[in-house]
Structure 1
Amino acid sequence: MSQSPHDAATSPAPGQAIWLTALAGAVAMAVAMGLGRFFYTPVLPAMMDGLGLDPSQAGWIASANYAGYLLGAVLAAWGWAETIERRVALSALLATALLLLGMGLASDMILLALIRFLAGVASAFVMVFTSAIVLSHGLFAARPWVQSSHFGGVGVGIAGSALMFGLLLLAGGGWRLAWFLAGILALAGLAVVYSYLPREIMRSGPARREPPLVWSAPLVALTVAYGIFGFGYIVTATFLVAIVRDGGGSSGFEAGVWLFTGLFAAPSVALWMPVVRRIGLVSVFALGCVVEAVGVAASVLVRLPFGPLVGGAFLGGTFVMVTAFGLQAGRELAQDSPRRALALMTAAFGVGQILGPVVAGYLADWTGSYTWASLAAAVGLLAAGTIVLVFCTNRPKPV
């Protein structure tokens, strides 16, 4: 394995190297999250038509991915990956690419759910371990924009995959080819990450196992709210394109709405940073939940084309930044065990994500539309924002 300019992980990265580190992080998140997790959303309506899936079945397949994400996050909380974070992250990215290709071959619901489950495990490993590496280098180099670019990769992945899927539809391609192309894109992304992801986390001392997490009342409240947020955002993140089709939108508009979502997601962390500096992480978390709740409700209450566009814009403009700033707040509340806090908050997030698509799918089957499912998600988002405002009295400032 050839060495990159980052192999000296115990010394600060020069200016050019930190840009390459940020690029590696953004591409890793684009592959693992934008493709590995969220590409299911734009392809879902075509899959439902092609395979005869109903909303509850589609919800179970989606929830299998989030169950895998939960398992991956729990596994990542332990110290087994100390000093081999890069190797684990790269292996998980390779698995993501292969599993994307596998989605284009499968037809059986059980097999599809199994593939999505394994993809969830892989995406959690990428998120936890690449974030630990990239953000530590950003902090060491005193470059706060590294966090914005890292999590902005999720939106770039969503927008890029939506654009690819839209062009595929215009060319008359089907949903199986879409998964194959996503897998090829993921392999290209893996090559970039392999070249530029640093070998180790930046540490002020030798590698050590983090001590057990000490649960304070604010950290418990934040973790609970983070899990409820996972339930609230995932309903629209899973079914937004299906909502468009259910409302009579064209296939081109379906891809356009998801592209719109990604374009708003990509710069969201950077755009919200001035607000964080002014009112703090917890208040921005709560505000983001409220804004997103409005968008989730609008996606089903406002007629096409405006409802889904508002829903996509408000979802894209908030879910990545609430995810990122929530984890940052958790790190600040658990400074002795930041990676354990990140992993266990991600696990709570995963529980909410498992419940969201299943509940939404059955509500959609029962009522014949996604309206009540989306309104339940909006209520959950408002609850998450209220919990952090009421119980997280020790409001951490951004690092």
Structure 2
Amino acid sequence: MMSSTFPVFRDDHARAAAMSGAVAMAAAMGFGRFSFTPILPGMISELGLSASASGLIAAGNFAGYLVGALLAALHWAGGRERQTALAALAANAVLLALMAATDNVLVFTFVRFLSGVASAFAMIFTSSVVLGHAARVGGERIQSAHFGGVGVGIAASSALVYAIGQIAPGAWRLDWLAGGAVSLAAFVLVLVLLPPMVTGSSAPQREPRLVWTRQFSRLVLSYGLFGFGYVVTATFIVAMIRLAHLGASVEFLSWFLTGCAATLSLIAWRPLMQRLGLGGAYLAALALEAVGVAASVLVHGPVAPLLGGVALGATFMVITAYGLRLTRDLAPESPRRAFALMTAAFGLGQIAGPLVAGSVAEWSGGFTLPSLLAAGALALSALIALPLRLSEK
């Protein structure tokens, strides 16, 4: 019999949903989307990739994620969420391994685009299954375990790349193959553990047309700027450390600590959110992330990227989660339409971020100016969203 200390896991399906959700998010997001960050420096060193080419490859992945998210919103997979999630996780593993099969920038970009689509499908359809079980048992711990898997995957990808670098320096192809192998193992675990979809008693109703209000418009613009601001550090932080010659241990720690902070962020921010409200916590997280992004280039020595990594990990999942919860509050009659619009704004921001950062880095000779532009975008995002907090008082 399960202990009453953990009532959320009082049945097998709830426990399996939490475990499989965490594993799926670690594979699809931590590896599928974000393992490019620790692998990129090796690709730059061995292939001579420019900053703009690196930004193009990253933008390809984010474009794929946007396309996948918008396709998933069309409800074509109704009743087949579990099967679609599993197919996407299998594709994610294959596409990670395929990155080792070429050295052409355009092929890299296309493979990463497909990987972005797979990551989006895996995240959205796995979440449909897992969060259905969370709602059934009223368990926030299932949600925390599920989304905490992103941070676990980020930390694990950093540790894997570091370990391979100690054995075979510069073996970036092996990094991708190992990431694909880990993701394949994750697929097998999810195949075994992921419970059936919780089915509702009625079909989803057609939503009315989205009503634009001044507050919702502010949130959409703010969220798009957040997508631009976070992604510069999330894409280039390890490459920045390599260029500064701070050592492999700092490269590892910066991304590893990012993942650790992301794993605990939603749990750690909950008391502050209850005190400040959703709008207040959203603003506070944006402000902290802006400071962290600026500190990653303005503070000297190895502590700078560590501060930047921890601040990024402690905030980006929180801003995402609270931004979407605010969306539901501001557009309660049309949440699916509002979520799709927020996804589009965020997606456009994170596609533009690597492209702009890569070009500016080539022009300026480093990532200081792109990082300061990103910090400015985050500060502007918070300023635009300030009335959301004021309206809660």
TM-score w.r.t. length of structure 1: 0.91
Give the aligned residue type for 1:368. G
Asked if the contact 2:16/2:195 (under 8 Å) is kept, the reply is: no
What is the deviation of 1:209? 5.1
Aligned partner of 1:148 among 144, 147, 157: 144
Please say if 1:64 is aligned against 2:60.
yes
Tell me the residue number matched to 1:293.
290
Asked if the contact 2:9/2:15 (under 8 Å) is kept, the reply is: no
Separation in 2, partners of 1:117, 1:366: 26
Asked if the contact 2:132/2:197 (under 8 Å) is kept, the reply is: no
Structure 2 counterparts to residues 220-231 of structure 1, below 5 A: 220-231=217-228
Tell me the percent identity: 46
Tell me the residue number matched to 1:51.
47
Corresponding residue pairs, total = 384
Aligned partner of 1:22 among 4, 15, 18: 18
Query: 5+ residue gaps in structure 1?
Result: 1-11
When residues 14 and 83 of structure 1 are mapped into structure 2, their CA distance, relative to the original with a 3 A threshold, is farther
When residues 235 and 98 of structure 1 are mapped into structure 2, their CA distance, relative to the original with a 3 A threshold, is same
Aligned partner of 2:101 among 105, 108, 127: 105
Query: 5+ residue gaps in structure 2?
Result: 1-7
SS where residue 387 of structure 2 aligns?
helix
Tell me the residue number matched to 1:333.
330
Separation in 2, partners of 1:209, 1:119: 32
Separation in 1, partners of 2:298, 2:308: 10
Asked if the contact 2:250/2:306 (under 8 Å) is kept, the reply is: no
Question: After alignment, is 341-350 or 259-268 more displaced?
Answer: 341-350
Tell me the residue number matched to 1:37.
33
Tell me the residue number matched to 2:4.
none
SS where residue 232 of structure 2 aligns?
helix
Structure 2 counterparts to residues 74-153 of structure 1, below 5 A: 74-153=70-149
How large is the Cα RMSD of the aligned pairs? Answer: 1.9
Asked if the contact 2:230/2:374 (under 8 Å) is kept, the reply is: yes
Tell me the residue number matched to 1:198.
195
When residues 212 and 126 of structure 1 are mapped into structure 2, their CA distance, relative to the original with a 3 A threshold, is farther
Separation in 2, partners of 1:233, 1:23: 28
Separation in 1, partners of 2:202, 2:196: 14
Asked if the contact 1:360/1:373 (under 8 Å) is kept, the reply is: yes
Tell me the residue number matched to 2:175.
178
SS where residue 101 of structure 2 aligns?
coil
Tell me the residue number matched to 1:343.
340
Separation in 2, partners of 1:275, 1:100: 37
Asked if the contact 1:29/1:151 (under 8 Å) is kept, the reply is: yes
When residues 352 and 358 of structure 1 are mapped into structure 2, their CA distance, relative to the original with a 3 A threshold, is same
Please say if 1:238 is aligned against 2:235.
yes
Aligned partner of 1:165 among 161, 165, 177: 161
SS where residue 79 of structure 1 aligns?
coil
When residues 60 and 212 of structure 1 are mapped into structure 2, their CA distance, relative to the original with a 3 A threshold, is farther
Give the aligned residue type for 1:372. L
